[in-house]
A and B are shown apart, each in its own frame.
Chain A
Amino acid sequence: MTKPKIASDWMCGCAGCHMSLLDMDERILKVLELVDLRATPITDLKEPDESGVDVGILEGGINNTASEEVAHKMRKRAKILVALGDCAVFGGVPAMRNFCGVEAALKQAYVDADSNEPGSQIPNDPELATMTKTRALHEVVPVDYNVPGCPPDADVIFYVLAELAQGRKPELKNELLHWH
């Protein structure tokens, strides 16, 4: 049997969920025995195979046109899509900017905050993605499994990956289910 292909990427998150994935320690070797790890933000290959992967994992919410693209691409190429962590599942901390809107958030970050040089401006390079409301992954594309946690701990991620790698459906409950 060929090993299932897995790819991951991050969007509007803090990379903490991927750190938690690495926190699996030696168990990561076991996961690697079970799966064919393809593109991830922390390995050389950056995009999921055009030919498709079995499991796609996304960390972070969707907060701009670039992350929208990432989400759509992963959804298109992955048979099973996993939202990893509170930002992907709920919107998380970055979604707090929805309270004030994109404009006010940018102005605060690039102009008003004390840490800015006087005369600082909101970056307006046309190459930059356009900011949007911050959304949970399931608000943009259909999600197969939501894995909450800020971050989900290594045990949770290991369980989910191991189940998916062996063709089973992960069921998060009891100690494995937490939202923080």
Chain B
Amino acid sequence: MVQITINGKQIEAPEGTTVLRAAQMAGIHIPTLCDHKELVPYGGCRLCIVDVEKWRVPMASCTLPVSNGMVVNTETEAIKKSREFILSMLFSERNHFCPFCQVSGGDCELQNAAYHEEMTYWPIQPGWNKFAVDTTHPYFILDNNRCILCRRCVRACGELVGNFTLAAAERGAASMIVADTDVPLGESTCIKCGTCVQVCPTGALIDRTSAYQGPNAEFTEIKSVCAGCSVGCATKLIIRNNRIVRIEGDWDGAINHGLLCEHGRYDPMNESRTRITTPQMRKNGKLEPVSWEEALGAVADKLRPLAGGKNGVAAIASTRLPVETLAMFKELFVGNFKSELVTSTEEGMPTAAVTSFAEKNGAFEGKLDVLRTADTVLCIGANINRNHMVAGFMFKRNLPKGTRLINIDPEISELDYLANSTLKNKRGSDMALIKGLQAIIVKEGLGRSPLDIPDADGLIKKAIGATGVSREELTQAAQTLARSISPVILFGKGITAQRDEKLVEELYRLAVLVGAVDSERNGLLSIKGEANSLAATLLGLDEAFNLNGQQAVYVAIGDDYASKSLVERVSKAPYLAVQASYESSLTEKADVVLPVTIWSEQDGHYLNLDGHMQSTQKAITAPENVRDNMAVLSEVAMRMNMTMKSDWKTSVLERKSSVALN
């Protein structure tokens, strides 16, 4: 601890802290602009200057480490004057028209800083130079007229997202925020995560959906969790009049620390499917609106005689549904109906092999956080640049700092361009490849723990033959992995969809061999799939959905998309009941359609890929005649005289999880 005095107040601050952070911890406000708590201190705007006794010039407090006995003053006349001058320079550099600016009136950090100095005018008028407005991005607008060059966007895009799209071109007053080599944002390498918009302190980056909808003070904010994938990023829903105007990443989120990807931030804002707002039943070949009574009655009448019978009812639920809904679904169809085919829409592709390995061996996977400190990431069968992107951000940001990426995927993927080694093995050759890697490591004596491999040369030869990858490439990947200090092996659907527990086992052996898994850390992760992939497999809803003469099919698709293959399979069933939020080729085929809530309209829990159980609350009131997913299931149960009694929290613990739950 270090003793310092700020504005006469004695403060104890941890060594290495900056003066700014020390002041903030002590509740002393120092105006800032380029500082952001999630970004590396930059010292660019100079607004945070303070007076340090016995020092010759004012110092930027955001980059100034505390030292013992330091006497700091933040509100001297000279400092206040300097702050006003700094702000005057900023206002004169670009063009600020507060009366019609989206962020004016509370949401602009620049304006707020000027108010803090009680500035009633600009001592230096602007030069009336025109600056470009880039409107090419589908989700946001960059208005350089309002940019203060704080570079928070640039730093966030690099330091946090690891995408490095944004940069500042030129120098001094000619500096300009640009994408890539100064191409329009809409044509750039931007992956549309929106982090830059979330960190911009001014109206220079504004998003299309919430701009000019009112100041933040007029919105309500509800914490939620993204249902976009199994990463489970924490969000804040920004709501006005029962409508989400914007989704932000929650900086307090334990998993994502404020970050979101396009699917989390923008997909829900650009929903284009047609909502189903009334129950429907097929009459004379056509779907007609009916009452809930009629629709539920019809479903119950149809299903009642089929309960318990062989070839009775098959049921399938979306892994985007909350855990409690999935648990109830299971209880209804497995427990009560005794149906033989009850599963989830992912059919265990991302999880079944993982869970069956875990059932024999216990939890074997690590936590997502391990990616942040990985010095090598081996990505196998996981296109982390397209899905589960926020997990990708966790290491992509470190690639320029030397973290190595090995990408193994028969498909072309964006990750190939980032990877140090890219192994394009032939489809179906993963087992040979993994064993080949093990063999090379053992043969070269690079293993961190013993692994008995009798015929290493044979395995290597076999790997080269089966994969079509050259010996050099294979060796290089093996060496990179084995020589790293904190490697992580990340595997995805490319592996798990093969439904081969042995593949998981070999990956585990590889992880132990290279020290990705040891007694201290666990760097083996399966990326899974949708929001509740893990919960679905733990509930046993992970079988393949192979219809086999069932008389009726019940699909709880919720707000998810039904795959073409699912629609094909269920359209052959004699009777199809669907609970769905949106019209689709699936609901078109249904005999009964029950309109249900979407993710934002229901309470629920989500169990993310590394075992975090997170809850969401209803944020939006559903349309009049739409019912909660759970409520619909219990209505069906009630009409069948079935009692639902199990507790979802225990149901989800029935199988062994591949990752420790918390």
Residues of A near any B CB (own CB < 8 A): 83, 86, 89-93, 95-96, 98-99, 133, 135-136, 138-139, 143, 145-148, 150, 171-173, 177-180
Q: Assess whether B98 is in contact with A136, with CB atoms less than 8 Å apart.
A: no
Chain B residues near A146: list those with CB within 8 A. 120-121
Q: Which of B99-107, B237-245, B419-427, B595-603 contacts A (4 or more CB under 8 A)?
A: B99-107
6 A-B contact pairs sorted by A residue (CB < 8 Å): A83-B121, A86-B98, A86-B99, A91-B125, A177-B120, A179-B98
Q: Assess whether A179 is in contact with B118, with CB atoms less than 8 Å apart.
A: no
Contact of A150 among B98, B115, B125, B129 (CB under 8 A): B98
Closest A residue to B105 by beta carbon equals A180
Chain A residues near B129: list those with CB within 8 A. 99
The docked-state distance in angstroms from the alpha carbon of A99 to that of B121 is 20
Chain B residues near A135: list those with CB within 8 A. 125
Q: Assess whether B111 is in contact with A179, with CB atoms less than 8 Å apart.
A: yes
Closest A residue to B115 by beta carbon equals A177
Chain A residues near B128: list those with CB within 8 A. 95, 98-99, 133
Query: Knowing that A93-B100, A180-B99 are A-B contacts, what are 17 other residue pairs whose CB atoms are under 8 Å apart, sorted by A's residue number?
Result: A86-B98, A89-B120, A89-B121, A92-B99, A93-B97, A95-B128, A96-B97, A99-B129, A99-B130, A135-B125, A136-B121, A136-B122, A150-B98, A150-B99, A173-B115, A178-B105, A179-B99
Q: What is the number of residues of chain B that contact chain A, defined by CB distance less than 8 Å?
A: 19
Closest A residue to B114 by beta carbon equals A179
Asked, given contacts A99-B128, A136-B125, whether A177 binds B99 with beta carbons under 8 Å apart, the answer is no
The docked-state distance in angstroms from the alpha carbon of A171 to that of B117 is 12
The docked-state distance in angstroms from the alpha carbon of A93 to that of B122 is 15
Q: Assess whether B98 is in contact with A172, with CB atoms less than 8 Å apart.
A: no
Closest A residue to B145 by beta carbon equals A99
With both chains docked as a complex, state the minimum distance between the C-beta of A104 and any C-beta of chain B, in angstroms: 12
Chain B residues near A86: list those with CB within 8 A. 98-99
The winner among B100, B104, B125 for most chain A CB atoms within 10 A is B125
Closest B residue to A137 by beta carbon equals B121
The docked-state distance in angstroms from the alpha carbon of A138 to that of B119 is 14
Residues of B near any A CB (own CB < 8 A): 95, 97-101, 104-105, 111, 114-115, 118, 120-122, 125, 128-130
Q: Assess whether A90 is in contact with B105, with CB atoms less than 8 Å apart.
A: no
Asked, given contacts A96-B97, A136-B125, A139-B125, whether A180 binds B104 with beta carbons under 8 Å apart, the answer is yes
The docked-state distance in angstroms from the alpha carbon of A176 to that of B104 is 15
The docked-state distance in angstroms from the alpha carbon of A91 to that of B99 is 12
Total A-B pairs, Cβ < 8 A = 58
The docked-state distance in angstroms from the alpha carbon of A135 to that of B105 is 24
Chain B residues near A93: list those with CB within 8 A. 97, 99-100
The winner among B111, B114, B115 for most chain A CB atoms within 10 A is B115
With both chains docked as a complex, state the minimum distance between the C-beta of A120 and any C-beta of chain B, in angstroms: 27
The docked-state distance in angstroms from the alpha carbon of A13 to that of B560 is 54
Closest A residue to B121 by beta carbon equals A146
The docked-state distance in angstroms from the alpha carbon of A83 to that of B100 is 20
With both chains docked as a complex, state the minimum distance between the C-beta of B295 and any C-beta of chain A, in angstroms: 52
Chain B residues near A177: list those with CB within 8 A. 115, 118, 120
The docked-state distance in angstroms from the alpha carbon of A95 to that of B130 is 12
Chain A residues near B130: list those with CB within 8 A. 99
Closest A residue to B116 by beta carbon equals A173
Closest B residue to A178 by beta carbon equals B105
Chain A residues near B100: list those with CB within 8 A. 93, 180
Q: Assess whether A148 is in contact with B125, with CB atoms less than 8 Å apart.
A: no
Contact of A180 among B98, B114, B120, B122 (CB under 8 A): B98
Asked, given contacts A179-B104, A179-B111, A180-B105, whether A173 binds B118 with beta carbons under 8 Å apart, the answer is yes
Chain A residues near B105: list those with CB within 8 A. 178, 180
**Smallest CB-CB A-B distances: 6 pairs:** A150-B99, A98-B128, A146-B121, A179-B98, A146-B120, A180-B104
With both chains docked as a complex, state the minimum distance between the C-beta of A97 and any C-beta of chain B, in angstroms: 9
The docked-state distance in angstroms from the alpha carbon of A90 to that of B120 is 10
Closest B residue to A87 by beta carbon equals B99
Closest A residue to B123 by beta carbon equals A138
The docked-state distance in angstroms from the alpha carbon of A93 to that of B104 is 15
The docked-state distance in angstroms from the alpha carbon of A148 to that of B121 is 7
With both chains docked as a complex, state the minimum distance between the C-beta of B215 and any C-beta of chain A, in angstroms: 10
Closest B residue to A148 by beta carbon equals B120
Chain A residues near B120: list those with CB within 8 A. 89, 145-148, 172, 177
Asked, given contacts A139-B125, A180-B104, A180-B105, whether A171 binds B118 with beta carbons under 8 Å apart, the answer is yes
Closest B residue to A171 by beta carbon equals B118
With both chains docked as a complex, state the minimum distance between the C-beta of A25 and any C-beta of chain B, in angstroms: 23
Closest B residue to A97 by beta carbon equals B128
The winner among A98, A139, A146 for most chain B CB atoms within 10 A is A98
The winner among B101, B118, B129, B130 for most chain A CB atoms within 10 A is B118
Contact of A90 among B104, B115, B122 (CB under 8 A): B122
The docked-state distance in angstroms from the alpha carbon of A99 to that of B104 is 22
With both chains docked as a complex, state the minimum distance between the C-beta of A123 and any C-beta of chain B, in angstroms: 24
Chain B residues near A179: list those with CB within 8 A. 98-99, 104, 111, 114
The docked-state distance in angstroms from the alpha carbon of A94 to that of B140 is 27
The docked-state distance in angstroms from the alpha carbon of A147 to that of B100 is 18
With both chains docked as a complex, state the minimum distance between the C-beta of B381 and any C-beta of chain A, in angstroms: 53
With both chains docked as a complex, state the minimum distance between the C-beta of B97 and any C-beta of chain A, in angstroms: 7
Contact of A138 among B114, B118, B121 (CB under 8 A): B121
With both chains docked as a complex, state the minimum distance between the C-beta of A132 and any C-beta of chain B, in angstroms: 13
Chain A residues near B114: list those with CB within 8 A. 179
The docked-state distance in angstroms from the alpha carbon of A143 to that of B120 is 12
Chain B residues near A173: list those with CB within 8 A. 115, 118
Chain A residues near B99: list those with CB within 8 A. 86, 92-93, 150, 179-180
The docked-state distance in angstroms from the alpha carbon of A139 to that of B105 is 26
Closest B residue to A101 by beta carbon equals B128
With both chains docked as a complex, state the minimum distance between the C-beta of A39 and any C-beta of chain B, in angstroms: 25
The docked-state distance in angstroms from the alpha carbon of A146 to that of B120 is 6
The winner among A90, A99, A171 for most chain B CB atoms within 10 A is A90
Asked, given contacts A93-B97, A180-B98, whether A172 binds B118 with beta carbons under 8 Å apart, the answer is yes
Closest B residue to A149 by beta carbon equals B99
Closest B residue to A99 by beta carbon equals B130
The docked-state distance in angstroms from the alpha carbon of A93 to that of B98 is 10
With both chains docked as a complex, state the minimum distance between the C-beta of A60 and any C-beta of chain B, in angstroms: 14
